[in-house]
Amino acid sequence: MEPRAEPDGPEVLRMESVRKTFPGVVALDSVNFDLRAGEVHVLLGENGAGKSTLIKMLSGAHRPDSGRIVVDGTPVRLKGAQDAERLGIATIYQEFNLVPELSVAENIFLGRPPRRFGLIDRRRMETDAARLCERVGVTVDPRARIRDLGIARRQMVEIAKALSLNARVLIMDEPTAVLTTDEVGRLFRIVRALREDGVAIVFITHHLEEIAAIGDRVTVLRDGRSVTQVPAGTDQDELVRLMVGRSIEQQYPREPVDAGEPLLSVAGLTRDGSFHDVGFEVRAGEVVGLAGLVGAGRTEVVRAVFGADPYDAGTVTVLGQPLPRHDVGAALAAGIGLVPEDRKAQGLLLDASVQENLGLVTLRRATRAGLVDRAGQREAAARIATRLAVRMAGLDQHVRTLSGGNQQKVVIGKWLLADSKVLILDEPTRGIDVGAKVEIYHLINELTASGHAVLMVSSDLPEVLGMSDRVLVMAHGRIAGELSAQEATQDAVMALAVKGDDVAKGTHMEDSGGQ
């Protein structure tokens, strides 16, 4: 369990002064990273620090603009997943690369099933799959379909698949984010066994306590640069300081104002299997944070409040007026706006212009007798784009080519144009660079100062603590507790977030994962 001394296995992989830019962003710059056989090397960094780009480079999805990648002492060019596979590099992404309709065995040997007389040798495929599953310590029928498995077991299948490729380097992107405590323990046992076998493992996690438990060395990324490399036993506060690079007070410029009348009241909100008896209030001028682990039901609740999804029981009231359930139009008319979790998939028309995106919510309002007042729309879009300081070449620029922060400003902007009283922000700064983050925090201050209310869902705990006037903590689909800004500390929130884990014995996640 205790971190081992400096790993002494041979070096299998090294990145030297790697640089990678995307339109508008320098994702990585002079990044150095090395990996030895038989070690667990933790990549640590904030969202947007460049961890994903780094591992995508190792798996062949991106190529560096400059710098080089060295495998076994030889510089290589990874042009695609096949190249990485050939070198024994396997990656397990957060969103798994499994085909839900196919069986466990078919997924493990996807694209390279064992053959006999030109036909697929089903029996051999299934025995091989069973052997691999056994090695990763999961009991699963190789003929079971992936869609019928819970998240933890899907992850094990991914690992089995990586082993079947004889992977010498295994990259795991936040593997514990979706697991219960028990499952994390099981995963760690497998990771340690692989380490003993000499596999080099790149491990990404946001849970600092896991670093000491599983890691050997830590490389810290910040704003696309590799800041330093430290042993996994490093003190947690020190890790945070390295990761953030500044004190938290400066990063979250919250200026509280006196709370006014309740704008949004939710009572007894329930959807079977997702959330239960959720009730809270958001007042004018307030920022209410909604914290909790991934899968606690936070996004489900705010989407139901907004009318995007149905619910079974409970009420949603805006300014004293009850809202009909599952009716986005009514929520919008009552003054609620939702900035969704996944801005690209749910918030933006990527191949439409900035103007088009900004005017989307107000399109109906700008229509007279079926005709849209395009000039008025443009004028309004120009006004809000200036106010939010959206960095763009012009209103006609396609949103796809904006940086993440500017894209998010556009999503927020369309709700500002619609004059929403209550703004629900779901992961408002995910994948956004630090500068744009602070701009969004200032915008939140501006909104609450003018009497708007903000309900913010975020997995970024420092953000929740730094920006909220009150923090609601959800666990297993229920509000586990409420903390004032003074009471809310990392420990207090985490204590509430894992509440009920012992009771649930870790089975809850498995259930919901199988839905």
Partner 1 sequence: MASNTVKNPDARGAEAHGAVPVARLLLDNGALTALVVLVAAMSLLSTDFLTTQNLLNVGVQAAVTAILAFGVTFVIVAAGIDLSVGSVAALCATVLAWTATSHGLPVWLAVLLAVATGIACGAASGALIAFGKLPPFIATLAMLSIARGLSLVISQGSPIDLPDPVSSLGDTLGGWLPVPVLVMLVMGLLTAGVLNRTYVGRVMYAIGGNEEAARLSGIQVRRQKLVVYALSGAFAAVAGIVLASRLSSAQPQAAVGYELDAIAAVVIGGASLAGGVGKASGTLIGALILATLRNGLNLLEVSSFWQQVVIGAVIALAVLLDTARRRAGAGPAASNAASGAPGVGHRWWSGAPLRLGVAAVVVAAVVLGAVLRGSGSSGSDTKVGLSLSTLNNPFFVELKKGAQEEAEAAGVRLNVTDAQNDASQQANQVQNFTSQGVGSIIVNPVDSDAAGPAVKGANKSGIPVVAADRGVNNADVGTLVVSDNIAGGRLAAKELARQLDGRGTILVLQGTAGTSAARERGKGFADGLAAYPGITVVGKQPADFDRAKSLDVTTNLLQAHPDVTGVFAANDEMALGAAKALGSKAGTSVKVIGFDGTPDGLKAVQDGTLAATIAQQPRELGKLAVRNAIKLAKGDPTRRTVKVPVKVVAAGSR
Interface ranges with partner 1 (CB under 8 A): 23-25, 306, 308, 328-329, 332, 338, 340, 345-353, 355-356, 360-361, 363-364, 367, 370-372, 374, 391-394, 396-398, 400-403, 414
CA 312/CA 277 separation, integer angstroms: 10
Beta carbon nearer to partner 1, 171 or 361: 361
Residue 309 Cβ vs partner 1, minimum distance, rounded to whole Å: 11
Residue 420 Cβ vs partner 1, minimum distance, rounded to whole Å: 11
Decide if 493 contacts 483 (C-beta within 8 A).
Answer: yes
Beta carbon nearer to partner 1, 361 or 496: 361
Q: What are phi and psi of 219, to 5 degrees?
A: -110, 125
Beta carbon nearer to partner 1, 214 or 390: 390
Beta carbon nearer to partner 1, 64 or 466: 64
Residue 372 Cβ vs partner 1, minimum distance, rounded to whole Å: 6
Q: What is the DSSP string of 383-452?
A: HHHHHTT---S-TTSBGGGS-HHHHHHHHHHHHHHTT-SEEEEESTTTT--HHHHHHHHHHHHHHHHTT-
Q: What are phi and psi of 53, to 5 degrees?
A: -60, -40
**Token pair of 180 as six digits:** 């219960």
Residue 404 Cβ vs partner 1, minimum distance, rounded to whole Å: 12
Residue 330 Cβ vs partner 1, minimum distance, rounded to whole Å: 9
Residue 189 Cβ vs partner 1, minimum distance, rounded to whole Å: 39
Beta carbon nearer to partner 1, 288 or 361: 361
Residue 374 Cβ vs partner 1, minimum distance, rounded to whole Å: 7
Beta carbon nearer to partner 1, 4 or 365: 365
Q: Where are the alpha helices (DSSP H) in 245-279?
A: 248-251
Residue 338 Cβ vs partner 1, minimum distance, rounded to whole Å: 6
Beta carbon nearer to partner 1, 233 or 431: 431
**Token pair of 320 as six digits:** 């004293």
CA 228/CA 219 separation, integer angstroms: 6
Beta carbon nearer to partner 1, 180 or 274: 274
**Token pair of 228 as six digits:** 């330093």
Decide if 302 contacts 338 (C-beta within 8 A).
Answer: yes
CA 415/CA 331 separation, integer angstroms: 12
Q: What is the DSSP letter of 323?
A: P
**Token pair of 206 as six digits:** 């946001």
In angstroms, what CA-CA distances link 310 with 208, 272, 275, 280, 320?
36, 11, 12, 18, 21
